[in-house]
Structure 1
Amino acid sequence: MDVPSMSTQAWIRSLKSSISDEWRQWLVNDQVAGYTRTYSNNLTYASVKGAGHTAAEYKPEECFAMIKRWLSYEPL
């Protein structure tokens, strides 16, 4: 993991929200696309497996699936 990811997780911890759904994988085409964790304040942290700094450049299909599900109020 790189610094922005770790900093984001540290910021989320500073909110002191409890975890409502522990780390789990999310899938695209029956393949692991990344991992997600949900918090009690309705915040979801999601990662894209194998993506670089600009995830949409490296993993466009996974990023499209993520944003499509978010806009449709579907879980990852």
Structure 2
Amino acid sequence: MSTQAWIRALNYSIVDDWRSWLVNGQVAGYTRSYSNRMTFATVKGAGHTAPEYKPDEGFSMFTRWLSNMPL
């Protein structure tokens, strides 16, 4: 919640409101994009250590980021 409050305080416009992102046809989490090209993303059911509990989703998020591909 505090991260989202901080992002709101930056006052950037929302470009792409909450939507799900998928891994292997399953909902992996949710994402929201802003006008400064920043994206806030969640990993469903992962808690604070997403790569430990959701390795496929974490790897997919990381490789998409490196490839400059959207979630």
User: Which residue does the alignment assign to 1:25?
Assistant: 20
Structure 1, 21-30 or 51-60: larger mean CA deviation: 51-60
Alignment partners' CA distance in 2, 1:70 and 1:53:
19
| Structure 1: unaligned runs, 5 residues or longer | 1-5
31, 53, 58: which one aligns with 2:53: 58
Q: How far is 1:41 from its partner?
A: 0.8
Q: How far is 1:52 from its partner?
A: 1.7
User: Which residue does the alignment assign to 1:69?
Assistant: 64
User: Could you say what the CA RMSD is over the residues aligned between the two structures, in angstroms?
Assistant: 0.5
Alignment partners' CA distance in 1, 2:54 and 2:70:
19
Alignment partners' CA distance in 1, 2:49 and 2:30:
17
Identical-pair percentage: 72
- The aligned length equals 71
Hey, which bits of structure 1, 4+ residues long, moved more than 3 A? none
Post-superposition Cα deviations, 1:30-60, rounded to whole Å, max 9, x if no partner, equal: 0000000000011100000000211111101
Residue type at the aligned position of 1:73: N
Q: TM-score, normalised by structure 1?
A: 0.91
| Structure 2: unaligned runs, 5 residues or longer | none
2:41 maps to 1:41: no
Q: TM-score, normalised by structure 2?
A: 0.98
